[in-house]
Chains A and B, each alone.
Chain A
Amino acid sequence: EVQLLESGGGLVQPGESLRLSCAASGFTFRSSAMGWVRQAPGEGLEWISSISVGGDGTYYADSVKGRFTISRDNSKNILYLQMNSLRAEDTAAYYCAKQVRGWQFDYWGQGTLVTVSS
C-alpha cells in the first residue's frame, strides 16, 4: 500500500523558515518523480514544486521560486521542501504527491498545515 506521510508544518512568523518532510513507503521511491501541492484555507489546489527521480531536475511555480527548495533522499525514501522567507500568503495545507507520466499525481499524503502569522 502506497503511503505518504508529511510532517514539519506549524505556526511561524513572516520571514521565517520551515522544512517539510514526506516519508514514502509502499512503492519504489527512487523510481518516482514527486511533487508538492498546496491548498490555502477555503481555496483551490496550487502546484508549487516537482523533482525528478534522481533529484537533478527541480521545478517551481513562480509564486515560490527563489524561496522554496525541493529535494529528496532516495536512501531514506524522504521528500523535502525547504521553505524560506515565508509570507502570510504561504499559509496552506501542503500535500506531497507521487507523480506519474505527464506530472499527474496518483497518490497523495494527508497534508501538513503551515500557518504564517505574526
Chain B
Amino acid sequence: KAGVTQTPRYLIKTRGQQVTLSCSPISGHRSVSWYQQTPGQGLQFLFEYFSETQRNKGNFPGRFSGRQFSNSRSEMNVSTLELGDSALYLCASSLSGTGGTDTQYFGPGTRLTVL
C-alpha cells in the first residue's frame, strides 16, 4: 500500500506571498491532519479534516486554512507569508481520525522557506 505523499517537497517563497501544499493520504484513510514543525516549537497541530469537514483546529491564525476533497486528498493554504512560517509542514493520515486508538501515519513533509 502506498504511503502518505506530499507535494511539493521543498518550497521557497517571499514574505507576503501565499502557498498551497498538497497531501494524499493512504488509500482508505479518511482523516488528514496537518502539523507545523519548527526546531523551537516541535510538532504543532494545525487542523484535521475528516470526510471533507474540518473536525479540529489548532491555535494558528486565520492565514492558515485547509480543505479536503471527496477523495480524501487535502490541501493546506498559507496566505500573506511571514518569515516565521518557515517550517516543515507534515501531513498525517489515519482511518478515522485523531483520538481513540487510531494511528496516524506521516508523509515526508514539505519544507517551506520564507525569505
Bound pair: A and B?
Answer: no
